[in-house]
Amino acid sequence: MKSLEEVDRQVREVLIRTFNLSREAVTPEATLFQDLDLDSLDAIDLAVKLEIETGLKLAETEFRSIRTVKDVVETIHRKMEARAAE
């Protein structure tokens, strides 16, 4: 299982590559919709890219509660822990 730091790095790389964002903009506290200027279609694209990268599917209800980069990282890491415990 990946560490929280590894998941953080992976999520940031997906955001930077997918949405052509600067590394400086993608901080843990950056909000997806305000700071990074993503919209609802971008959120779907992000969820799909993360599923491809991690093998984990984010439920729509999970994604609705995500506001920041840190929220994405913690959600992915929590799902990885749950999968490892199975």
Strand partners, 48: none
Which domain does 55 fall in, by range? 4-85
Q: At a CB cut-off of 8 Å and minimum separation 6, what does 62 contact?
A: 75
Residue by residue, pLDDT tens for the chain (86 residues) are 889 999 999 999 999 999 999 999 999 999 999 999 999 999 999 999 999 999 999 888 888 899 999 999 999 999 999 998 98
CATH number for the domain harbouring residue 34:
1.10.1200.10
Its pTM stands at: 0.92
* Structural domains counted in the chain: 1
Two tokens, residue 4: 């929280």
**Tokens 């749950």 identify what position?**
82
Q: Give the H/E segment covering residue 77.
A: helix 69-85
